[in-house]
Structure 1
Amino acid sequence: MNPGQVIADLHVRWVFGWERDEGDPPFDFRRIFGGFYDFGSPDVRLYDDFDPEQRVATTAAGYGSIWEPGFRGMVSAHHAVDDGPHVIAGQELAASTLTFTARITLPDGATDLRTTTSLVWRRTPDGWRIVREHNSSKVLPAGTLDGAFGAGLPAVSQEA
């Protein structure tokens, strides 16, 4: 398989790694994403503006520590790829971009969002790993994604 297709497949799998269903075991970033991020590189820079503190992580483990508390408190997180992935791939580095929608459900309600994600991948002896990440999210009006993630998911409003 050519590198572009490998990266496209990885990026889509990465999106769905963030899925959560009620009753799932506690969110463990390294267990879920150990095959995606470069946990040993000094070149890692990872950012997501959905982080209320808008921190830039310089290690994959540090990035995981940003997300584990919030994801452990979620009822569910459901995603759909909206556009892409779009990939440029060389032999050692690749970049991919895609847009996804998500409904993040907490005990007190849900947030619908659309996120554009850009990842830079480096080929390592263990395979392609993420060394750069930038996510930009826009919160959508409550209920925008009602019915978007399959039958049986409740439509939850952001309103109390």
Structure 2
Amino acid sequence: MNDQQVIEDLHTRWVFGWDRREGDEPFGFARTFGEFYDFSSPEVRLYDDFDPERRVSTTATGYGAIWEPVFRGVVSAWHVVDDGPHVIAADGLAASTLRFLARIVAPGGVTDIRTTTSLVWHRTAAGWRIVREHNSTEVLQPGELDGRFDGA
């Protein structure tokens, strides 16, 4: 595979790393995403506006600390790629953009979202790793995604 194809595969697999099913082992960010994020780079900047506090993390570990409690508390989370990934790659850097739909089932109810995610990857000795992330999320009307997910 060329670099563009590798990043397309990584970004797609990254989306489905967020999937949760009832009965899964407790969510562990480093365990789930260790092959995706650069856990040692000082260049990391990660942001997701679905975080109510709108924090920018400067480490993958810090980003995981935002999302572990959230994903440990959900009953299930279902994702489907709606557009992309679209990738450009050259000289050890790559950028990818992808849009996904998700249904998050929590004890308090169901939230359907549409998110556009942009990732910047850099090549390390261990492979391509995320050093930048920006997610923009739109919360959808209840039931808008009915029928889009098998089993949800």
CA–CA separation in structure 1 for the residues paired with 2:97 and 2:13: 13
2:50 and 2:23 mapped to 1: Cα distance?
24
Unpaired stretches in structure 1, ≥5 consecutive residues: 154-160
Letter in 2 for 1:21: R
Is the aligned partner of 1:129 residue 2:129? Answer: yes
In percent, how many aligned pairs have the same letter? 72
Normalising by structure 1, what TM-score? 0.94
- Kindly indicate whether residue 38 of structure 2 is the aligned counterpart of residue 38 of structure 1: yes
Q: How does 1:71-150 map to 2 (within 5 A)?
A: 71-150=71-150
RMSD between aligned residues = 0.6
Asked if 2 retains the 8 angstrom alpha-carbon contact of 1:3 and 1:91, the reply is no
Give the 3-state SS of the residue equivalent to 1:74 in structure 2. coil
Name the structure 2 match of 1:3.
3
Q: Quote how far apart the aligned CAs of 1:40 are.
A: 0.2
Matched pairs, number: 152
- Between the aligned partners of 2:122 and 2:19, the Cα distance in structure 1 is 24
**AA in 1 matched with 2:39:** F
Whole-angstrom CA distance in 2 between matches of 1:131 and 1:68: 19
Q: Which runs of 4+ in 1 moved over 2 A?
A: none
Q: Which runs of 5+ in 2 are unaligned?
A: none
Q: TM-score, normalised by structure 2?
A: 0.99
* Counterpart-to-counterpart distance in 2, 1:110 and 1:52: 17
